Amino acid sequence: MTDRPLIAVLGAAGFVGSAVLAALADRPVTVRAVSRRPAAVPAAGVAGFEVVTADLTREGEVAAAVDGAHAVINLVLDTSGWRGADGNGAAERVIVGVVRDLADAAARARSDAPVVVFAGSASQVGRPRRLPVDGTEPDRPETVYDRQKLVAEALLDRATADGVVRGVTLRLPTVFGAARPGGGADRGVVSTMIRRAFAGEPLTMWHDGTVRRELLHVDDVADAFVAAIGHADTLSGRHWPLGDRHGEPVGDLFRTIAALVAAATGRPPVPVVSVPPPAAARPSDFHSMVVDASAFTAVTGWRPRVSLPEGLRRTVRELGRAGSGLDLGAGFVPGE
């Protein structure tokens, strides 16, 4: 398989990472699946897989993980989540440090500039002055997490301008879906509320429910990363927000989840209620996010295949099968 392109997936054992491995399985490539714990690789397909365990925050580990790679997909996630990034040096090391190490490793290799696709966040734009966002608006990040993402993105853009890498940032909205066997769990708002509904708990909002959220199924996110590698020469040097221009009101989303879980259990729907926001709430929790990805679609042909209703049905079905012994304290981690 030495004649196949080598794609290194960093964070391969995570929620999005495991979906990317599945999306690459039918490609004639070699995939190096890199993560802190061994990634579960697809059993079928034409791709070859190398499983590498590494702590990418340690000196030299990033360079070793991407050695010889034609493309790198950076999905490394700080496990404290986006709220934990506030004042967290470890989060900065993961978000910014890994990108810096990627650029340094590519510069030292002095080979053809590899493709690097970085997972950014739609929330980097801050409070948008118009909706939908499409990647042309100025960034006004409101959280430490978003500022760190922006710094990492700028490092990648600089390395691209220097000819060291061909960097592409995909800014993700709220990603949801059921975890794959052996993959990381979805810690986002959709799965959190599905778990609460199965446990018979109320679904709580920090506002009146009219705030809209862009939601994208994890399989569509994985397809976007694969598409970005194939069109890197056109995409490199800028960021590309992903979404479908929908933006679901949170109240409607939660009531749909309550109804789907009720249908699965035969119990009445759990209530959807507004509660005072906690101290950990951020400004982005209270403004809407809708994303227009038509620019990315025009280059790659990518578009979401899993509708929101179908994605919710799948996620409810899979979490229902998983049973009720689930962590109900998971936080809302947009874009991860």
pLDDT at 333: 31
Same domain, 259 and 316: yes
The 3-class SS string of 33-78 reads EEECCCCCCCCCCCCEEEEEECCCCCCCHHHHHHCCCCEEEECCCC
Same domain, 39 and 151: yes
| CA R_g for the chain | 19
Residues 71 and 27 sit within 8 Å (Cβ to Cβ): no
pLDDT, tens digit only, all 336 positions of the chain: 457 999 999 999 999 999 999 999 999 999 999 999 999 999 989 999 999 999 999 999 999 999 999 999 999 987 655 444 454 578 899 999 999 999 999 999 877 899 999 999 999 999 999 999 999 999 999 999 999 999 999 999 999 999 999 999 999 999 999 999 888 888 899 999 999 999 999 999 999 999 999 999 999 999 999 999 999 999 999 999 999 999 999 999 999 999 999 999 999 999 999 999 998 888 888 999 999 999 999 999 999 999 999 999 999 999 999 874 444 333 333 333
pLDDT at 284: 84
Taking the C-alpha atoms of residue 309 and residue 314, their distance in angstroms, rounded to an integer, is 9
How many distinct structural domains can be found in the chain?
A: 2
Query: Does 294 map to a domain?
Result: no
Region of residue 131 (phi > 0: left; psi between -120 and 50: alpha; otherwise: beta): beta
Taking the C-alpha atoms of residue 137 and residue 132, their distance in angstroms, rounded to an integer, is 10
Same domain, 118 and 143: yes
Cis peptide before 181 (omega within 30 of 0): no
Same domain, 105 and 185: no
Same domain, 164 and 279: no
Same domain, 94 and 220: yes
How many alpha carbons fall within 13 Å on the CB side of residue 55?
6
Q: Which domain holds residue 154?
A: 6-175+216-241
Same domain, 269 and 228: no
* Phi and psi, residue 294, nearest 5°: -65, -30
Tell me the CATH number at 156: 3.40.50.720
Residues 72 and 114 sit within 8 Å (Cβ to Cβ): yes
Q: How many CB atoms lie within 10 A of CB 129?
A: 10
Taking the C-alpha atoms of residue 194 and residue 181, their distance in angstroms, rounded to an integer, is 18
pLDDT at 102: 97
Same domain, 200 and 146: no
Same domain, 166 and 182: no
Tell me the CATH number at 311: 3.90.25.10
Per-position DSSP letters for 200-247, written without gaps between them: TPPEEESS-S--EE-EEEHHHHHHHHHHHHHTHHHHTTEEEE---S--
CB proximity list for 298: less than 8 A, separation 6 or greater: none
pLDDT at 222: 98
List the one residue out of 20, 48, 15, 50 whose CA is nearest residue 34: 50
Query: Does 225 map to a domain?
Result: yes
Same domain, 233 and 315: no
pTM value?
0.92
Same domain, 77 and 138: yes
